[in-house]
Each structure stands twice: as C-alpha cells, then as structure tokens.
Structure 1
Amino acid sequence: MEIITTLNLKGGVAKTTTALNIAQALRQLGYKTLLIDLDYQKSLTILLEANHKITALELLSSKEPGAIIKEAIKDDIITSHEDLLTLDSLDPLTLKKILDSKEIKNIYDYVIIDNHCIFNALTLNSLMASNKLLIPTTANKLGYIGVEDMTSLLSLIKKVYKKNIEAYLLFTDFNPKTDLNSQYKDILTELIKDTNIKLLDTYIRHSQPIEDSQALGVNLFEYSKRSNGAKDYLEATKELIKIKG
C-alpha cells in the first residue's frame, strides 16, 4: 500500500481538488483508494457530501482505533472534523500506526491524504505516514513562496525526524500560452533543482469541468472524462505512480 500526502503551505493552489482527482484517477485505473481529510475546514468532506459518525478526530484521539476503523472508512473516505486542531500534541506516528493496521493495509492499494495549508501536528502525522508527497502549485509568485516554504519543511523533516520523503511538484490551473505562467514554471524548476523534489512532466490545465463537477458534487471522470482536467489528472497520476502509457 502506498500513502501519498498532498500539501502546500500556501492556499489557493488546488490542493484539495488535486487530492480528490488523483484519488478518482487511481480508482479509474482500478486501484482501491482511501481518501483522508485532515483539513479542519473539511473541504474534501463537504465536496463528497460525506457525513460519518466516526471522523478523523475520533480515530486519531482513540486509545483503541482498531475498534472503530471500519466505521471511519465507509465510502472509502475518512472524514474531517472542525475540532481537529485540538489535537495539537498528537504523537507524530499516530496516523502511521492506524494505516499500518490490517483493516486498512489489506484493503487499499493507495491512501491519499489532504491537509490544511499550515504545518501542525496533523500535517506532521500525514508526512510521517506517507511514502510520497505531492505538492500542487500555481505558476505565480504565491506558488513560488509556497514551494520555497515546502523545501524548508522537507529539510526540517529530514533533519529532525530522519525521514526522506519522495516529493513531486505538480503545476495546477496552468496555461502554457501565458508568459507569466511559463516564466514562473522556469523559476520554480530552478528553485527545486538542488532539492529532492521532482517536477512532474504533466501539468493540470485550467478546465471549467473541474469546477463544475465539484459544484455539482459529481466525479470529474464521469462528468467529463474527455475534458482537459480529467485527461491531465489521469496522466499526472500515471506519472506519479510510475505507470507508462
């Protein structure tokens, strides 16, 4: 089972959109995929209209999480809770231990974790549990700041927690015909040149069906599988998990 965190320390970069559509793409490819919403703003949970009695809050704070895992993972999502920020002293390996349980490991091929754009105990848990990190970013000044912050965070994780995470950068809402996007693509590529962050060749073009499908609460790949957004997310997913063709 592979665990992938989506994170950027800047908002407005399509982080939740990316987590959702990477998970949907993995399912299109035939992989059993679990989504986890660790963002206290609950964007992913709201988009999927998921209403679970047992949320990430109960699961992460439980002394016996194994007893409630099956209730938490119904509909292939562990939902968020607005009080998740109260778990500010959470052990960094709490989530990893939960995901190592047979109730999850024996069922799922992939786990995709969505996070808020701040570094806290939840974000740390997500990173410590994951094999890969996907950093969605826009090709602009705010995107540059976010990626710069992410390089510092990865250095901190490596230094303090002795963990190297396989990290990938994904451009979202990208228009290759825009000079500014192209310039910042070059700038960001140079920024990560001497880091362990790799740039995915695929970028996500601006696509109205992405926004429309979310507004309607439907799967992008069912709503408009021929749209640029669906094609791009599918190709980015294949690249991320190293499937050719």
Structure 2
Amino acid sequence: MATNGYRNRIITVANQKGGVGKTTTAINLATALAAIGEKVLIVDLDPQGNASTGLGIGRNNREHSSYDLLMGTHSVSETVQETAVPNLHIIPSTMDLLGFEMEISQATDRVFRLRKALISTQAFEYSYILVDCPPSFNLLTMNAMAAAHSVLVPLQCEFFALEGLSQLLETVKQIRGTVNPQLDIQGIVLTMFDARNNLAQQVVNDVRTHLGEKVYHTLIPRNVRVSEAPSYGKPAILYDLKCAGSQAYLQLASEVIQRERQRLAA
C-alpha cells in the first residue's frame, strides 16, 4: 500500500488550532477503522496525552511512551499498548514530550525520529497508523508530518476556520518542499457541525468551494455523547454506537478507505 520504505498508511491528524475535534477524530476514526477489520495504531504525540486518556490508558499505566520512541531508547513493540478496542493499539504520550524539542535541538536527525521508528517490522503489521499531533506547529508536528504519507485535517465549522486552514496548508507545503516530498492532504473533515446554525452551513459551503474533493462528504455533528465519551476512557463508538457522532465516524472511516482504494487504483 505504501511507498518510501513503508508497508502501511501513515496519516497525521493535525490542526494548529486547538478545540477543533482533532483528538476526538483521531480516536474515533481509528476505532471505526479497527471495527471494520483494519489493524490500527495511534501514536500520541501530544504532551497532554488526551488520545491516551480517551482510550483508557491512565497516566500511571504509561511505562513507556512516544517520548521513548522518539528518543530511540525503546522500539514500537516496547512502547505499544493494547486498548479495549480489538485491532486498535496505541503508543501513549507523557509530559516528557515537553522537553523533546530542547533535548534534541542539535541532532541532525531531529525531524526524522518518528519516521525512523516507524520503518520497522513491528510497525509494518498495522495497515493504518494515525499520529495525533499537539495543537501547534513545533518539532513534534514536524516529526509527524515528516513520517506521514498524508495529513488529515479536522476543521471546526466556525467563522475563522478558513483562516486557520490556509496556515496549515502552507505548513504542509513547506514540509513537502523540505523534508517529505510525498506528503499530501488526505482530506478535510468538517467537525462540530450544527445544522441549526446558518453560519455553520456557510462555512461548509465556503470550504467545499475552495477545496472541492479534498473535503470529505461526511459531516461530524456536535454531539453530547461524543463529548462525554473521553471522561469514561472510551471512544464514542464504544460508549454509544448508535449516537449521531459515532455513526458519522463510521461513515468517515468508509470514506477514508474508499479514497485509499481510489488512490491505489490511479
């Protein structure tokens, strides 16, 4: 499926703006992919560790983490943990990531640490690897984009959405021109959509007008059950499969796989 030494599909889930549903999308898309038979790994690169918490991995149960993976002291197999979701594993995050940039600022391979770690036998067994980034552009995000085949962008249906999106697209362009020429936009996922809000529909129309087929057809609605799920250490799809948010993420997973098939057939 992959190129450049990989045997899987690595997707970075990123947005420099916080509060757009980035981690929620990473968790639930990964769960949905696992539910339809794919073997999936999440790499939590956010020092806040919300993806890890949202999948039920408590802070006291993160003996080895993505920090250890990036520092090269532990491998994928030594840092990966099972979740309550069959076929879904995670490399959890710890606050140690806050010091990563300072510790390796002089290293010549500082941007390629994640790429090196994921070109391994242990990583090859996953058909999809989703990397959850911090809500900022720093060395962790650069590592994620340098390692990935594509970037999936959750975009909140709000007034300033397009402004933030243009900044992110420029970042992807810069990474493509410097450290990862194969990096592409996997797609734009519109999140927190409220059909009762005229402005939200206007944002949807504007984004589709500007980016066309890069925007997924699936709209992720504002949904109380999706918001509640992380406090129980569960993805929404496990917490309440029938809620509108869970159904939307299952639909999104189908769209992601369909796009991958189209890409391979091209």
Q: TM-score, normalised by structure 2?
A: 0.83
Q: Secondary structure at the match of 1:158?
A: helix
Question: 1:101 maps to what in 2?
Answer: 120
Q: Are 1:58 and 2:68 matched, yes or no?
A: yes
Deviation at 1:207, TM superposition (A): 1.6
Aligned with 1:45 (options 32, 46, 52)? 52
Distance, in Å, in 1 between the alignment partners of 2:172 and 2:18 is 18
Pair 1:206-2:222 in alignment:
yes
1:150 pairs, out of 159, 168, 191, with 168
Aligned equivalent of 1:186, options 205, 208, 216: 205
Identity of aligned residues (%): 28
1:110 aligns with 2:123: no
1:80 maps to which of 93, 109, 113: 93
Hey, what's the Cα distance between the residues in 1 that align with 2:190 and 2:239? 22
Out of 247, 250, 265, the residue aligned to residue 231 of structure 1 is 247
The alignment partner of 2:193 has SS state of coil
The residue aligned with 1:121 is: 139
- Other structure's SS at 2:10 match: strand
Q: Give the TM-score taking structure 1 as reference length.
A: 0.90
8 Å contact 2:27–2:235 — kept in the other structure? no
Shift of 1:162: 5.0
Task: Confirm or deny that 1:13 pairs with 2:29.
Answer: no
The CA deviation string for residues 124-152 of structure 1, in whole angstroms up to 9 with x for no partner, is 11111112211001111232222111111
Residue pairs, 1:165-184, within 5 angstroms: 165-167=183-185, 168-184=187-203
Letter in 2 for 1:203: L
**Does the aligned pair in 2 maintain the 1:14–1:136 contact within 8 Å?**
yes
Partner of 1:28: 35
Partner amino acid, structure 1, of 2:93: S
Secondary structure of the 1:30 match is coil
- Counterpart CA distance in 2 for 1:200 and 1:117 is 21
Question: Please, which runs of 5 or more residues in structure 1 have no aligned partner?
Answer: none
- 1:223 deviates by 2.4
| C-alpha distance in structure 2 between counterparts of 1:74 and 1:139, whole Å | 34
How much has 1:174 moved relative to structure 2? 0.5
Give the alignment's Cα RMSD to 1 decimal: 1.9
After superposition, the Cα gap between the structure-2 partners of 1:3 and 1:235, relative to the gap in structure 1 and judged at 3 Å, is: same
- Tell me, in whole angstroms, the C-alpha distance in 1 between the residues paired with 2:9 and 2:50: 23
In the alignment, the residues of structure 2 paired with residue 160 and residue 132 of structure 1 have an alpha-carbon distance, to the nearest angstrom, of 15
> How many residues of Structure 1 are paired with residues of Structure 2 in the alignment?
237
Deviation per CA, 1:81-136: give whole Å up to 9, x if none. Answer: 2121322236222111111100121x211111101111111111111111221100
Paired residue type of 1:48: L
What is the rounded CA distance, in whole Å, between the counterparts of 2:176 and 2:130 in structure 1? Answer: 21
Q: Matched residue of 1:4: which SS?
A: strand
1:188/1:157 CA distance change after superposition, 3 Å? same
- Distance, in Å, in 1 between the alignment partners of 2:220 and 2:111 is 32
Structure 1 letter corresponding to 2:132 = D
Contact 2:54 2:229 in 1 (8 A): no
Contact 1:148-1:191 at 8 Å conserved across structures: no
Q: Which runs of 5+ in 2 are unaligned?
A: 1-7, 83-88, 262-266
